[in-house]
């Protein structure tokens, strides 16, 4: 039903780029579509730092809603984005007309998206080390590598 606003939230390691095709299709159908890139990722990867946490990413989306003055919207989260959209929806449930998990992680209060310690992230990072793209050393120290 066009004239609706859809906010698509990407998953870990990704950015707005992953929604390029689907956003185009939705816009052609008449929907207003936002594909914000979460802080530290994609075209905002130059901002990567240790201080970026789940609250930062929830604020990224909540601020988009506030400053774009979006009254009602369909909120979609893919993978890790499922955690983010749950946090956003919890903070502004009156504005969310539909909440969609698109191959998304379901959040449970008090739980984090990774089941084990941060060490597992670091292990995963080192496991992928051989394949990773060249990134700044500062980035490499605070981010989990994706490739």
**Residue ranges binding another protein (CB under 8 A):** 12-15, 17-18, 38-42, 45, 48-57, 79-80, 82-83, 86-87, 89-90, 93, 96-114, 117-118, 121-122, 124-125, 128, 131, 133, 135, 139-140, 142-147
Minimum distance, C-beta of residue 75 to another protein, in the bound complex (Å): 9
Cβ-contact 5, 30 below 8 angstroms: no
Owner of token pair 């605070």: 142
Q: Shortest gap between Cβ of 29 and another protein (angstroms)?
A: 17
Rounded CA-CA distance 120/32 in Å is 39
To another protein, the closest distance from the beta carbon of 34 in angstroms equals 18
- Of the residues 29, 45, 79, 116, only one is catalytic, namely 79
Q: Is 49 a residue of the active site?
A: no
Residues 6+ apart with CB under 8 A from 119: none
d(CA 117, CA 29): 43
């Amino acid at each position: 039903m066009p004239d609706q606003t859809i906010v698509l939230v990407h998953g870990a390691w990704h950015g707005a780029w992953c929604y390029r095709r689907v956003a185009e299709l939705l816009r052609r159908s008449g929907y207003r579509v936002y594909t914000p890139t979460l802080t530290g990722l994609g075209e905002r990867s130059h901002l990567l730092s240790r201080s970026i946490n789940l609250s930062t990413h929830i604020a990224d989306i909540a601020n988009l809603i506030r400053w774009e003055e979006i009254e009602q919207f369909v909120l979609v989260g893919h993978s890790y984005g499922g955690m983010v959209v749950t946090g956003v929806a919890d903070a502004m449930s009156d504005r969310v007309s539909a909440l969609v998990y698109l191959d998304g992680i379901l959040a449970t209060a008090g739980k984090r998206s990774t089941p084990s310690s941060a060490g597992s992230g670091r292990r995963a990072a080192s496991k992928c080390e051989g394949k990773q793209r060249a990134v700044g050393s500062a980035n490499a120290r605070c981010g989990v590598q994706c490739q």
